[in-house]
Amino acid sequence: MKIVPFAVEEWMNRYETDAVYNIAETCVDSLTLGELVDDVPRFFAALAARKLTYGDIEGSPAFRRRVAALYDSEPRVVATQGAIGANFLVFFTLIEPGDRVIAVHPTYQQLYEVPRALGATVHPLRLRPENGYLPDVDELRERARRGVKLIVLNNPNNPTGALMPEAMLLEIVAIADEAGAYVLCDEVYRDLLQKGVPAAPSIIDLYDRGISTGSMSKVFSLAGLRLGWVAAAEPIVAACLQHRDYTTISCGMLDDALAVRALERYDAIMRRNLAIVRGNLAVLDEWVQEQPHVDYVKPKAGTTALLRYDLPLPSAQLCEGLMRETGTLLTPGSCFEVEGTVRIGYANAAETLRQGLGQFGAHLARLG
Ligand SMILES: Cc1ncc(COP(=O)(O)O)c(C=O)c1O
């Protein structure tokens, strides 16, 4: 199977560990093991007697029950290796050569490149700044009329931070229903909402052929667990399980136990993380207002924003120079096929954000 390089992952792999000010990171400031488990002896004593078998093949009942409780429709849940494993599993299960797929663009490259590599024809549904990076539903309707097997969304969106509201999701569901299509919505940033922004429902609470993918990485600040899920109606998850037997067997039982702990503390983690994304966006917003060369569509949700700059310089060159000279890491818009932009991840520690923005502003001033 031929597949093009995953630009954003290659970029992060190259620079992430050397960055002094990492403002490319998309997780909300990661938790330590000690912050998650404040009763280490008791917690690990309970685990110490457990034989390290494959464990619960689909994920522990506690994990699956608690993830299902994040939705209204009591979906069936299966554990995967991160949301990246969840998305892959959905494509591996549903896509056959010749299928037609419509996917929002820009987004996480996996969401359109994997279906393409599996032989589908993928039509991009452009998210444009003049529409607040929301899709044009009429364009989708027009495309879907010509046939579509799967519509792929990412809500809230990485990289733009746009959030499709309920009314728009309902319109998309009506289009999908008429076309007989599935809708996969990558909801890995779900509920990381800015103040005053109404929550958007999960696709699976609106549509019986909807599929939600999520994970412990962003919302729970626990990317190191490498644990995610597919949540959907029974027949869809059953088909996923049949395919998953060939790739996964099970996810690690230690990761599962730690994820259950985090799910039990959903409210506290969410309080912490909403304070971070809201406080940090205020810092970013103030910085953008002061910059002569930068503007943006202010994000409504998630952890990222696309910053547009007006200097005659390719985004990769801009970001490489910034990293080389200041140790500040951003992601070039070229990784999302949107030149003239850089993606910032603003949910890291506030001090890292402040320092990184200071360095970026000074760098732009030197170039401008
Ligand atoms: C939209 C989106 N989906 C999936 C992933 C993968 O996340 P995970 O760590 O859960 O595999 C990312 C990571 O950046 C992402 O931004």
Is the beta carbon of 228 within 6 A of some atom in ligand 1?
Answer: yes
Distance between alpha carbon 179 and the CA centroid of its chain, in Å?
26
Domains 7-32+267-367 and 51-265 share a fold: no
Q: Which of 188, 190, 219, 222 has most ligand 1 atoms within 8 Å of CB, for mutation?
A: 188
The whole-angstrom separation of Cα 365 and Cα 360 is 9
Q: Measuring from atom 14 of ligand 1, which residue has the nearest CA?
A: 26
In the chain, where are the structural domains located?
7-32+267-367, 51-265
Q: What is the CATH number of domain 7-32+267-367?
A: 3.90.1150.10
pLDDT for residue 306: 98
Q: How many helices (H) and strands (E) does the chain have?
A: 13, 13
| DSSP-assigned beta bridge partners for residue 79 | 229
Q: Measuring from atom 2 of ligand 1, which residue has the nearest CA?
A: 108
Is the beta carbon of 157 within 6 A of some atom in ligand 1?
Answer: no
Distance (angstroms) between ligand 1 centre and the Cα of 188 equals: 6
End-to-end CA distance of the chain: 44
Amino acid identity for residue 162 in this structure: A
DSSP string, 69-102: TTSSS--EEEEESHHHHHHHHHHHHH--TT-EEE
Distance (angstroms) between ligand 1 centre and the Cα of 93 equals: 19
Query: Which residues, 6 or more positions from 256, have their beta carbon under 8 angstroms from its beta carbon?
Result: 55, 56, 59, 60, 63, 79, 227
Q: What is the pLDDT along the chain (368 residues), one digit of tens a residue?
A: 999 999 999 999 999 999 999 999 999 999 999 999 999 899 999 899 999 999 999 999 999 999 999 999 999 999 999 999 999 999 999 999 999 999 999 999 999 999 999 999 999 999 999 999 999 999 999 999 999 999 999 999 999 999 999 999 999 999 999 999 999 999 999 999 999 999 999 999 999 999 999 999 999 999 999 999 999 999 999 999 999 999 999 999 999 999 999 999 999 999 999 999 999 999 999 999 999 999 999 999 999 999 999 999 999 999 999 999 999 999 999 999 999 999 999 999 999 999 999 999 999 999 98
pLDDT for residue 368: 86
pLDDT for residue 194: 98
The two structure tokens encoding residue 363:
């760098």
- Give the CA angle between residues 326, 290, 155 to the nearest 5°: 80
Query: Which residues, 6 or more positions from 202, have their beta carbon under 8 angstroms from its beta carbon?
Result: 70, 71, 72, 73, 185, 187, 190, 210, 212, 231
Query: Are the C-beta atoms of residues 218 and 303 closer than 8 Å to each other?
Result: yes
The two structure tokens encoding residue 90:
């959905």
The whole-angstrom separation of Cα 227 and Cα 218 is 11
Q: Which of 26, 84, 152 has most ligand 1 atoms within 8 Å of CB, for mutation?
A: 84
In the chain, % helix, strand, coil (3-state, to 5) comes to 45, 15, 40
Closest ligand 1 atom to 215 CA: 10
The whole-angstrom separation of Cα 110 and Cα 113 is 5
User: Residue 343 gets which letter from DSSP?
Assistant: E
Distance (angstroms) between ligand 1 centre and the Cα of 90 equals: 14
CATH fold group of domain 51-265: Aspartate Aminotransferase; domain 2 (3.40.640)
Angle between helices 40-48 and 253-264 (to 10 degrees): 140
Is the beta carbon of 108 within 6 A of some atom in ligand 1?
Answer: yes
Distance (angstroms) between ligand 1 centre and the Cα of 138 equals: 28
Distance (angstroms) between ligand 1 centre and the Cα of 112 equals: 14
Query: Are the C-beta atoms of residues 162 and 308 closer than 8 Å to each other?
Result: no
Instruction: Tell me which residue of 310, 296, 311 sits closest to 344, measured CA to CA.
Output: 296
Closest ligand 1 atom to 223 CA: 9
3-state secondary structure of 329: strand
Distance between alpha carbon 52 and the CA centroid of its chain, in Å?
30
Closest ligand 1 atom to 83 CA: 10
Is the beta carbon of 154 within 6 A of some atom in ligand 1?
Answer: yes
Model confidence, pTM: 0.98
pLDDT for residue 56: 97
Is the beta carbon of 104 within 6 A of some atom in ligand 1?
Answer: no
CB neighbourhood size of 94 (10 A): 21
Is the beta carbon of 84 within 6 A of some atom in ligand 1?
Answer: yes
| DSSP-assigned beta bridge partners for residue 27 | none
Distance (angstroms) between ligand 1 centre and the Cα of 187 equals: 9
The whole-angstrom separation of Cα 123 and Cα 114 is 13
Closest ligand 1 atom to 108 CA: 1
